[in-house]
């Protein structure tokens, strides 16, 4: 099946721990979790996911000073592994983000998106670099926003700190995005910011938000998980805890259309004044 047969989209969000500076362990770990995401064993009423979502910088963690040795060279390892998995299982993958070494020797915090045929249909480099984690000292910021289509649906993607910039989410919504993906490594103690910002992006743009955060500890920084799926009314459909888990839920795309008709915020905008 190459496209959805109805308006339902089944999503699996992989909330995982990441070993900082240890790509080999992280790639092995993500392979196990991907297998679990499509395995129906022991799950009552299992529905195979249409989309699997991963967290931010899952291949290296924030070992930014080591990127010359551990970043994925032009994304070859990531693309090879996830392309094969997506094609074999006929599943779309929003691959969180990985540290990538570019052809010019610089580094990017990059998200790849794979369709059911294993093809890369989009890649997005984080636009806003987070100074509190020194990203701007080691990474090149992106230059393109994250609009893409898959299964004949319009999507958008933002990475972690990007959600503090509502202009970007609005651009994606105006471009037709019905679902916004947000891979992240959002740490303690800012859990309230995480929940509030994600719900705000969903409500103000009348779209689903699917956010995948990591768990665990890296150095002095701990991560609380709370991966979330939020509907266009801002209601939380599913939320993870603070441990590794696979969050599963079903999205009804017709709700986006219904909410946008009921409260026509896009028609009532006055961009000539702001």
Residues catalogued as catalytic: 56, 126, 160
CA 217 vs. chain centroid, Å, equals 20
CA 134 vs. chain centroid, Å, equals 21
Q: Which two tokens stand for residue 103?
A: 């052809």
Rounded-to-integer distance, Cα 8 and Cα 249, Å:
10
């Amino acid at each position: 099946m190459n496209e959805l047969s109805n308006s339902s989209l089944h999503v699996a969000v992989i909330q995982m721990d990441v070993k900082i500076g240890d790509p080999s362990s992280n790639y092995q770990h993500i392979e196990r979790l991907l297998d679990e995401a499509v395995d129906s064993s022991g799950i009552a009423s299992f529905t195979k996911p249409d989309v699997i979502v991963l967290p931010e910088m899952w291949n290296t963690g924030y070992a930014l000073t080591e990127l010359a040795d551990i970043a994925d060279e032009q994304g070859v390892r990531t693309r090879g592994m996830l392309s094969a998995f997506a094609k074999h299982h006929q599943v779309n993958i929003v691959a969180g983000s990985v540290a990538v070494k570019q052809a010019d020797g610089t580094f990017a915090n990059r998200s790849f998106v794979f369709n059911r045929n294993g093809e890369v249909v989009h890649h997005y480099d984080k636009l806003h670099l987070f100074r509190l984690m020194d990203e701007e000292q080691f990474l090149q910021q992106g230059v393109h926003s994250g609009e893409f289509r898959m299964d004949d649906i319009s999507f958008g993607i933002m990475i972690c700190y990007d959600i503090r910039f509502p202009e970007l989410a609005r651009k994606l919504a105006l471009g037709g995005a019905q679902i916004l993906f947000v891979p992240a490594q959002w740490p303690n103690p800012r859990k309230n910011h995480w929940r509030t910002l994600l719900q705000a992006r969903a409500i103000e743009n009348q779209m689903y938000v699917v956010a995948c955060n990591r768990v665990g500890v890296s150095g002095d920084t701990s991560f609380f998980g709370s991966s979330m799926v939020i509907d266009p009314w801002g209601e939380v459909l599913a939320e993870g805890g603070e441990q590794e888990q696979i969050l599963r839920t079903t999205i009804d795309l017709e709700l986006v259309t219904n909410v946008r008709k009921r409260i026509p915020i896009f028609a009532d905008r006055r961009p000539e004044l702001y």
